[in-house]
Structure 1
Amino acid sequence: MPVAVPLSVVIITYNEEANIGRCLEALHEVADEVVVVDSFSTDRTVDICRQHGARVIQHAFEGYVQQKNFATAQARHDYVLQLDADEVLTEELRQSIRAARHNWQGGGYTLARLTNYCGSWVRHGGWYPDRKLRLYDRRWGQWTGLLLHERYELQPNQPAPLPLAGDALHYSYHSVEQHVSQLNRFTSIAAEELRLRNKRRVTLYHLLLKPWWKFVHGYFLRLGFLDGFAGLCIAVISAWGVFLKFAKLKLRK
């Protein structure tokens, strides 16, 4: 069997004591090192990371894109797996990563995320498989984006990333209150991003029709109703988020 390419796992954190241990426990025999870039957490995050043998670097948070590019640069190896603290690799995905290390092709690989919402696994409504490019050769790309929706982007001359089998279990929201609280924060960021992009015109189309379409698209067309009450909560709150984003944009000076 070919020699495996050296692999670093990088994770950014801030007050993730409820999640980070579960994430790190699933990384045994996956990579050669784990690097955690922490934004000066005030809980036990750093202690838990060190207990699991991770190398911890403190760095002030400047934005998701900047933080993930900084974390990628701290890795000792060019081959990098980037994870969020609330993600856990399944055994099937771990095996896929090990196989990719022994037969690396192209600039990177995508992994599917299966989200747990308030105790329920969500497989519809556009939330699954939610593939992300997370395993990559850092010499051929970088994290891009403005304020939200950061993504890893390969250089144009690189082949399309290949999909990995298996899921990353994404433990997103533990309660509706947590979802609404984060939605309020993210819609403020999204409104500011639209303003920075000079997309400042807000009409009844944005305030009424786009939220309505968000609900219909997720709940009916993408079969969100098959996820039961969780699917209904996601569809309603997501539609409300669209309204909030444009309402905040309209009221910004």
Structure 2
Amino acid sequence: MNTQYSFIVLTFNEEIHLPRLLASVSGLDAAIFIVDSFSTDATVEIARAAGATVLQHAFENHPKQWDFALKALDIQTPWVICLDADQVVTPELYAQLQQFDTNNYNDIDGIYFNRKNFFKGRWIKHGGYYPFYLLKMIRYGKGYSDLNENMDHRFIVPGNTLIWKKGHILEENLKENNIRFWIEKHNKYSDQLAVEETERILGIRNQTIKPRFWGSPDERTAWLKQLWWRLPRYVRPMLYFTYRMLFKLGILDGRTGVIFHFLQAFWFRLVVDIKIEEIIEQQEDIKNAK
């Protein structure tokens, strides 16, 4: 049994994805823990057949689900690798994990993996989507889930991190090939993000990660978010879409890529802005009615 690291995977109705992920890490002989949100398909059966330990827990949002997973599971290794069910480990990343020895990383608490994101079968290479580094491998007991986020889930470690630029995790949600699924999913996400941003406007929610443009990938994201929050609502979706299409060359992603950038950068962000205004108006109406 692998004594270096264990895998943790969150699932909900992932029978289409889970076999693909499990096959990509097969042979590493690492413990696999599945935290399932009461799937109604064959997800749990697939996980148990592969020898994974399954724990079920009601889903509220990704940061809270990861927080539960890191606290509730019986992890026996010094490291954990936290993956989404629609992700796959490439052979190059597999080779690095195969050679991993924690004794060579005594001063490191977290490792970033490079992600390739796919939409409707196309790799989204431009528009700021590649390279894209995610903190996926963390020292167990030190890394934790950032609960100051509602939608974006990220892990935080107190010590040093490094980036593995060789190898990738491939992320492709095949269910999103049906655009209705994508829209319904992101409509729910827009609810979470609108509440989060409203609370930031009111000063009752803060950032956990210190924003630094020249810092780690997550510190840079935190810096960019502060910039985003200062931009005027309704204007910023168009600015962001234009930035991704022209300055980050999203136009080179072709027809499918342009659709993705429009939906993700403009449509989704515009819906969030509309919902923020609705929440603020509702709160003002309640205040005025008292």
CA contact (8 A) 2:15 2:42 kept: yes
Equivalent pairs, count:
246
Partner of 2:277: 250
Cα distance 1:130–1:203, how it changes in 2: closer, same or farther (>3 A)? closer
d(CA) in 1 for partners of 2:79, 2:132: 22
Partner of 1:33: 31
User: Which segment is superposed worse, 6-15 or 79-88?
Assistant: 6-15
Once the two structures are superposed, what CA deviation does each residue of 1:119-144 show, in whole Å capped at 9, x if it has no partner? 11111111122210111112322111
User: Which segment is superposed worse, 240-249 or 158-167?
Assistant: 158-167
The residue type equivalent to 2:262 in the other structure is V
d(CA) in 2 for partners of 1:60, 1:119: 31
The residue type equivalent to 2:140 in the other structure is R
The residue type equivalent to 2:152 in the other structure is H
The residue type equivalent to 2:90 in the other structure is T
Match of 1:240 among 257, 267, 290: 267
Aligned to 2:130, what secondary structure does the other structure show?
coil
The residue type equivalent to 1:120 in the other structure is R
The residue type equivalent to 1:151 in the other structure is R
d(CA) in 1 for partners of 2:14, 2:92: 25
Q: TM-score, normalised by structure 1?
A: 0.90
d(CA) in 2 for partners of 1:203, 1:125: 21
Counterpart check, 1:198 vs 2:201: yes
Counterpart check, 1:153 vs 2:180: no
d(CA) in 2 for partners of 1:102, 1:141: 15
How many Å apart are 1:94 and its aligned residue?
Answer: 0.6
Once the two structures are superposed, what CA deviation does each residue of 1:196-247 show, in whole Å capped at 9, x if it has no partner? 22359x999311x211111111111111111101221122112111111010
Match of 2:248 among 199, 204, 222: 222
Q: TM-score, normalised by structure 2?
A: 0.79
Uncovered stretches (5+) of structure 2, i.e. residues with no partner: 204-228, 283-290
The residue type equivalent to 2:35 in the other structure is V
The residue type equivalent to 1:169 in the other structure is L
Partner of 2:179: 176
How many Å apart are 1:62 and its aligned residue?
Answer: 3.4
Cα distance 1:164–1:54, how it changes in 2: closer, same or farther (>3 A)? farther
CA contact (8 A) 1:112 1:167 kept: yes
Partner of 2:135: 133
Residues 1-253 of structure 1 mapped to structure 2, 5 A cutoff: 5-73=3-71, 74=73, 75-101=75-101, 104-105=104-105, 106-144=108-146, 145-155=148-158, 158-172=159-173, 173-199=176-202, 205-207=232-234, 209-237=235-263, 238-252=265-279, 253=282
CA contact (8 A) 1:5 1:104 kept: no
d(CA) in 1 for partners of 2:44, 2:250: 37
User: Which segment is superposed worse, 177-186 or 221-230?
Assistant: 177-186
Once the two structures are superposed, what CA deviation does each residue of 1:99-158 show, in whole Å capped at 9, x if it has no partner? 233654111211011111101111111112221011111232211132111211111xx1
Aligned to 1:32, what secondary structure does the other structure show?
coil
Once the two structures are superposed, what CA deviation does each residue of 1:45-84 show, in whole Å capped at 9, x if it has no partner? 1011112111111112233222112222312323101100
The residue type equivalent to 1:154 in the other structure is V
The residue type equivalent to 1:167 in the other structure is H
